[in-house]
Amino acid sequence: MTTCAEPVMPPSLRGKKILFGVCGSIAAFKAAGWVHALTKEGAEVTVLMTAAATRFVTPLTFAALSGRPAHTNMFADGMSHIALPAAADAVLIAPATAQTLARLAHGMADDLLSASVLACAAPVLLCPAMNSKMLAHPATQKNLAALREFGYAIAEPECGLLACGEEGAGRLAEWNSVRELLLGLLTAQDMAGQQVLITAGPTREPLDPARFLSNRSSGKMGYALARTAKRRGAAITLVSGPTALEPPPGVTLVRVETALEMAEAVSRHAQAASIVVKAAAVADFRAAAFSAQKIKKTTAEPLLELAVNPDILATLGRSRRDDQLLIGFAAESGNHEAEGKRKLLAKKADLIVVNDILGSSTGFDVDTNQVTLITLDSVEQLDLLSKEETADRIWDKALLLLANKRRRHGTEPV
């Protein structure tokens, strides 16, 4: 069992070779920020610009931000339309204009960017941005359908106020969701086909219109589980208590407030899940009676009568299918292994992830965690890791347990 002092960096795009295509749209200025973000994260970004793109932002801007020359001319440096894509781990085109989508959909190779995409075996992510009528036109829609059929990923354009002054669909997607899609393209899809139900965050148990009982959970651990499983190809339902976090793109989010609401949402979605992970910090108690009026301050000692909330994990443990994997968390301040084992048995889970809630860099509301993975026949203590890295280690273990389960039940796919 080892513990490292420094947490490792979250899974990132460090060292990835990204061929970044920029087309002629006002949104090209946003591409400059994305190139900067990728480069800061340690990716090796090579920018290819269409002729129209150079009318909006200069190649010098992209060269300065990426630390590499920005390429604009198919005939300038020999076989660059073959050499550049051959070295790429992924191609990202943002903004992808109607013109470039049409070129790519028809396999044209009349500029450096389209020729490079045609010559590229790496995954391609297109980020369309244009006027909403151009986007809605059957020609563009047909081109997008063809590009999806080629296997290209599309970062769906968002709705909002467009540069032309119109409101509608066509805005360039936000960087956070594009980064997630890019990470997904660069990650082995070993969770494809898994339906994963995750709970995250605290629950809030109202006392009166102004007050509630809750706990210090930020939702970071549960959201990290959702993001990483999504990147690995799983379909995610995230039942979340109140948090300040941005929901991971592409997951089905079910917002709840109280433990009773969480119990209801979990029971609604559990049947379809192959893996259930209860990372939420569910309040064990709620007020026995909600006061519709704000409880007044009195001179007498106030007494708060509590009712016990249902134990959602234990309920699942009693009713879950044999082929389903059930993972619980345990927030502990001592006796980690013994408490983890007790909860594993009491709640009939396959795996309990114990985290220390007393450490300054573990447990509640921090970006790192140090956990012990406890099953019926193993105890494995992980290093201090980022919550995303911890989540990935939990998924590695989950896939192993699922494979063992299937082997035991003779349901392993042939």
For ligand PMT, the closer of residues 29 and 364 by Cβ is 364
Among 153, 173, 183, 330, binds ligand PMT (CB under 6 A): 330
User: x-or-dash pattern for ligand PMT, window 212-251, by CB under 6 A?
Assistant: -----xxxxx------------------------------
For ligand PMT, the closer of residues 71 and 278 by Cβ is 278
Contact 85, 18 (CB under 8 A): no
Angle, alpha carbons 173-179-181 (nearest 5°): 80
Q: CA–CA distance from 407 to each of 182, 372, 376, 377, 400 (Å)?
A: 34, 25, 17, 17, 11
Instruction: Decide if residue 30 touches ligand PMT (CB under 6 A).
Output: no
Stretch in the footprint of ligand PMT (CB under 6 A) among 39-47, 103-111, 275-283, 295-303 = 275-283
**Catalytic-residue membership of 143:** no
Instruction: Decide if residue 156 touches ligand PMT (CB under 6 A).
Output: no
Stretch in the footprint of ligand PMT (CB under 6 A) among 19-27, 267-275, 360-368, 373-381 = 360-368
Among 156, 295, 364, 405, binds ligand PMT (CB under 6 A): 364
Distance between CA 192 and CA 206 in Å, rounded? Answer: 39
Structure tokens at 3: 């513990």
Among 113, 313, 344, 373, binds ligand PMT (CB under 6 A): 313
CB of 129 to ligand PMT, least distance (A): 34
Angle, alpha carbons 162-168-173 (nearest 5°): 65
Among 129, 226, 259, 373, binds ligand PMT (CB under 6 A): 259
Distance between CA 336 and CA 56 in Å, rounded? Answer: 58
DSSP letters, 167-182, are: EEEEEPPPHHHHHHHH
For ligand PMT, the closer of residues 85 and 363 by Cβ is 363
Contact 373, 349 (CB under 8 A): no
Among 100, 329, 384, 393, binds ligand PMT (CB under 6 A): 329
CB of 259 to ligand PMT, least distance (A): 6
Phi, psi of 381 (to 5 degrees): -95, 125
Angle, alpha carbons 8-394-278 (nearest 5°): 120
Distance between CA 315 and CA 264 in Å, rounded? Answer: 11
CB of 344 to ligand PMT, least distance (A): 10
CB of 317 to ligand PMT, least distance (A): 9
Pick from 404, 367, 402: nearest CA to 384: 367
Among 31, 155, 226, 281, binds ligand PMT (CB under 6 A): 281
Contact 252, 226 (CB under 8 A): no
Taking phi first (over 0 means left), then psi (-120 to 50 degrees means alpha), and beta for anything else, what does residue 123 get? beta
Among 10, 85, 123, 328, binds ligand PMT (CB under 6 A): 328
For ligand PMT, the closer of residues 134 and 314 by Cβ is 314
For ligand PMT, the closer of residues 117 and 224 by Cβ is 224
Instruction: Decide if residue 50 touches ligand PMT (CB under 6 A).
Output: no
Stretch in the footprint of ligand PMT (CB under 6 A) among 114-122, 135-143, 174-182, 358-366 = 358-366
**Strand (E) or helix (H) holding 105:** helix 98-105
Instruction: Decide if residue 101 touches ligand PMT (CB under 6 A).
Output: no
For ligand PMT, the closer of residues 85 and 201 by Cβ is 201
Instruction: Decide if residue 343 touches ligand PMT (CB under 6 A).
Output: yes
Choosing from 73, 131, 176, 215, the catalytic residue is: 215
Instruction: Decide if residue 363 touches ligand PMT (CB under 6 A).
Output: yes
**Strand (E) or helix (H) holding 406:** helix 387-409
Distance between CA 59 and CA 38 in Å, rounded? Answer: 17
Look-up: residue for tokens 């959970």? 217
The DSSP bridge partners found for residue 22 are 49
Interface with ligand PMT: number of residues (CB under 6 A) = 27
Distance between CA 106 and CA 98 in Å, rounded? Answer: 12
Contact 38, 20 (CB under 8 A): yes
Among 206, 284, 348, 379, binds ligand PMT (CB under 6 A): 284
Q: Could you give the residue numbers annotated as active site?
A: 215
Contact set with ligand PMT (CB under 6 A): 201, 217-221, 259, 278-282, 284, 309, 311-313, 328-331, 343, 355, 357, 363-365
